[in-house]
Amino acid sequence: DFTAYFDRDKTGDKLLVRPRQPGDRFQPLGMNQPKKLGEFMIDAKIPSAWRQRIPLVCSPQHILWVVGWRIDERVKVTDTTKQILCLKFERG
């Protein structure tokens, strides 16, 4: 099981779960700029056989969470966060 926390005001109202797509980019937590998802997966040493099967939680604008690995910097919880969105992803 995996759990992640987000600033609710920054996630948007319409979230979806999907596999990766060509050209996907996201801004991993702790980074100052977006990165190609494929490069992130290589740098994170995610086995190539897993990469297409890892679910992505997305808003219409951004990938918010590479489930099990990292959330997007732009939706992290901060001192100014008013509402926290908790998402839990269960296997099975």
Q: What is the pLDDT of residues 37-72, one digit of tens each?
A: 999 999 999 999 999 999 999 999 899 999 999 999
Residue 82 has pLDDT above 90, yes or no: yes
Question: What counts of helices (H) and strands (E) characterise the chain?
Answer: 3, 8
**Domains of the chain from N-terminus onward:** 2-89 (3.50.40.10)
Residue 92 has pLDDT above 80, yes or no: no
Q: In what order do the strands lie in the sheet with 70-71?
A: 16-18, 56-58, 63-66, 70-71
Mean pLDDT for 5-28 is: 96
Q: Which pTM was predicted?
A: 0.93
Mean pLDDT of the chain: 96
